Chain A
Amino acid sequence: MDLYQELILEHSKRPHHAGLRDPFDAEVHHINPTCGDEVTLRVDVSGTGAEAVVTDVSYEAQGCSISVASASVLAEEVIGHRVDEALETFEAMRAMLTSRGQVAGDETVIGDGVAFAGVSKYPARVKCALLGWTAFTDALARAGVDISSTSSTSPQGVSS
């Protein structure tokens, strides 16, 4: 099966930038009601407007390999980047994940995120892969960042 790429398994076993750190501008807690996956995520942003930079993303993720690895790749891909770049990465990840296998993903934009291309063929798992990313954009908004460039809808998961 092409779901569990080596990169995903590595990130899930040894998630990068894991743990909650200070300082931070906003903290959010997101859950996946389907399976009870949870992520607590903090963002620290410096600067404003076009110069705003994601100085840190720290998190505690409890969940499946896909959701944990996704949070790890998220932190890897956005820390130290400008907010507008981070949001572009988010959009590219989401476009790939919701493409039902039609979009391969551009490594120059999403880095290790390309390992998640196979997830898009498993609709029940897309929400796992997006959990950290939706938490991240929510945290940015709570930190006062304008995220209106992103479409705010996330795929509907099944709850029970």
Chain B
Amino acid sequence: MVDVLPFTDGELAAIRGDFPILTRTVRDGRPLVYLDSGATSHKPRPVLDAERAFYEQHNAAVHRGAHQLAEEATDDFEAARATVASFIGAPADEVVFTKNATEALNLVAYAFSNAAPTDDPKDERFVRGAGDEILVTEMEHHANLVPWQELARRTGATLRWVPVDTDGALDLSGLDELLTERTKVFAFTHVSNVLGTVNPVADLAARAHAVGALVVVDACQSVPHLAVDVATLGADFIAFSGHKMYGPMGVGVLWGRGELLEVMPPFLTGGSMIELVTMERSTYAPAPQKFEAGVPNAAQAVGLAAAVRWIEGLGIDRIHAHEAALVDLLQRGLSERPWVRVVGPAVGTPRGGAVAFVVDGVHAHDVGQVLDDAGVAVRVGHHCAWPLHRALGATATTRASFAVHNTVAEVEALLAALDRVPVVFGLDTEREAS
């Protein structure tokens, strides 16, 4: 059992009370046990209220027009930027709002190749062409892999990757050969969305910087679950999504060092991001506006800021402690079942809010279906990390991922539902016991 949970039962009840969706039932009246927050989190009422209030009271296209609503909408949008920036320890003008984390990562990759044809010496740090190398890892979500594959294809640069070891950690034994003066960018995840592995960002960033490479970190599974401070993290860019941190869908964040954002060419172009436009050419606004073409997702940004305030009200460290306790409880429960194999770090190793596992002999899709029948919502498949699953020797895994509203009883509900899997599929559960 878990000895100490950071929230009292009363506090947890209040937290759960903030989520309207947790009162609904699924599959013939069963309570919803939502263990898929790693895919998308549910939204507490203050977030829904903030988005609605923006539309009901201030709705206008931001950074345009001189009327009062336009002023208010712009103020709300920029205040949201300041709130999100402060949450990660960044100056406001280093935060770019995007559609999602995937767009944020594409923004960096496209800005690099947009810089490639120019002769501006300031751009030498970016991927320019053949001879340059892009380093990623085998544990990346497709969002932090495919954009780099495409950047390599567009520029003629070479893509290389750090393999994953059998414990689900990065195998850094060959890093000196992989990370060289040819490496222009090292892109890796802070916390694996499958394994829960927490990568040593500061160490990796220091080694990348020593050879002059820029560091791009996928922070989707860290920012919602543990304290992230870009001033000490070591990265040059981080990307994360709003909808995985209790915020609305349709808003993501790119943070980049100001000096880099300043010299990076834009990705998307059009209205809002310009300084001066003639029929022949245009000059661009300073960052972050340079990277926010078109009418931005102001209502969603405002909703995300409300999510940040909601998180700050609970305390990110308490959220982390709560989720870590549930992860530990689940890992221990799974380890008592010899027919279940957890992928990723062993019990007791720090990990993020996700636990993925395999029931040998039963496909993850079937495991997930049995859990769903009990009202337990988990993710099944390769979780947008297909190469990682190949490296693990698994076609697919079942993943439970936590949020602050999850409870010990929900972990127990998952384990109880899981015990039906061997029954339904006729597994010999003694087979591997020894």
Contacts and interface: CB of A to CB of B under 8 A. Distances in A.
A, B from the same assembly: yes
Contacts of B161: none
Interface string B378-406: 00111110100100000110000000000
A4 to B, nearest CB: 6
A3 B27 CA distance: 13
A34 B382 CA distance: 8
B373 interface: yes
Interface string A73-106: 0000000000000000000000000000000000
A63 B363 CA distance: 6
A36 B373 contact: no
A160 B384 contact: yes
A160 B389 contact: no
Contacts, number: 56
Nearest to A128: B365
Residue among A13, A62, A65 with max Cβ neighbours from chain B (10 Å): A65
Given A35-B395, A35-B396, A9 B363 contact: no
Contacts of A66: 365-366
A5 to B, nearest CB: 11
B142 A1 contact: no
Interface string B346-366: 000000000000000011111
A35 B364 contact: yes
B369 interface: yes
B369 A122 contact: yes
A123 B367 CA distance: 16
A34 B366 contact: no
Contacts of A3: 369, 373
A122 B381 CA distance: 16
A160 B142 contact: yes
Contacts of B1: none
Contact of A35 (B142, B362, B370, B382): B382
Kindly state the interface size class of chain A when it binds its partner: 10 to 19
Interface string A1-24: 101100001000100000000000
B383 A36 contact: no
Residue among B365, B382, B396, B425 with max Cβ neighbours from chain A (10 Å): B365
A1 B417 CA distance: 13
Contacts of B373: 1, 3
B279 interface: no
B424 interface: yes
A60 interface: no
B395 A62 contact: yes
B174 interface: no
B426 interface: yes
Interface string A123-152: 001001000000000000000000000000
A37 interface: yes
A107 to B, nearest CB: 24
Contact of A34 (B370, B381, B424): B381
A64 B142 contact: no
B60 to A, nearest CB: 35
B369 A35 contact: no
A156 B426 CA distance: 32
Interface in A20-74: 34-38, 62-66
Nearest to A158: B381
Contacts of B426: 9, 13
A38 B365 CA distance: 13
20 contacts: A1-B369, A3-B369, A3-B373, A9-B424, A13-B426, A34-B381, A35-B365, A35-B381, A35-B395, A36-B381, A36-B386, A37-B363, A38-B395, A64-B363, A64-B366, A65-B366, A66-B365, A122-B369, A125-B365, A160-B381
